[in-house]
Amino acid sequence: MTCGDGGGRVVALDLGSKRIGVAYSDSGRLLASPWGTIERSGDSGRDRRAVLEAVREVEASTVVVGLPLSLSGGQGPAARAALQEAEALRAELSPLGVAVETADERFTTVEAQRSLREAGRTGRAARKVVDTAAAMVLLQAWLEAR
């Protein structure tokens, strides 16, 4: 893995209660691509190890965790849980040279659902990929902001 110094691939995480959506960027940090989902196991340590494996697989130098702020920008229970998860990931990834950041994800799932509907994916087919699509929306917005 490379150092989280502003270069290299980025992994984005959309932390759902049942699944973690994962997307990653190219090494030039221009385009977000789907990686897939990690099914929640009920064991947060096991889930973090699965995230670590995804980070290793794509050789990411940065991880961006979606922060589900309220519409007013405040931190509700979901945002506080995401911050705790980001901190736990930071503790595991920082020694490996991987930076961990959070990014506002307020509208990523809505945008992902809209895009999937426009592509003709609805119902069960959409539910299976919405977490990954949300991670891609989050990552693409993060990349474009830089």
Q: Residue 45 CB: number of other CB atoms within 10 A?
A: 10
Residue 91 pLDDT: 97
Residue 129 pLDDT: 77
Give 9-36 as a DSSP string: EEEEEEE-SSEEEEEEE-TTS--EEEEE
Residue 121 pLDDT: 67
Residue 127 pLDDT: 66
| pLDDT by residue, tens only, the chain of 146 residues | 444 456 899 999 999 889 999 999 999 999 999 999 999 999 999 999 999 999 999 999 999 999 998 877 789 898 999 999 999 999 999 999 999 999 998 766 667 667 767 777 666 665 667 788 889 999 999 999 98
Q: What phi and psi values does residue 22 have, to the nearest 5 degrees?
A: -130, 130
Residue 109 pLDDT: 64
Residue 125 pLDDT: 62
- Please report how the helices 108-118 and 123-145 are oriented relative to each other, as an axis angle in degrees rounded to 10: 120
Q: Which CATH superfamily is domain 9-145 in?
A: YqgF/RNase H-like domain (3.30.420.140)
Q: What is the pTM of this model?
A: 0.85
Domain boundaries along the sequence of the chain:
9-145
Residue 116 pLDDT: 64
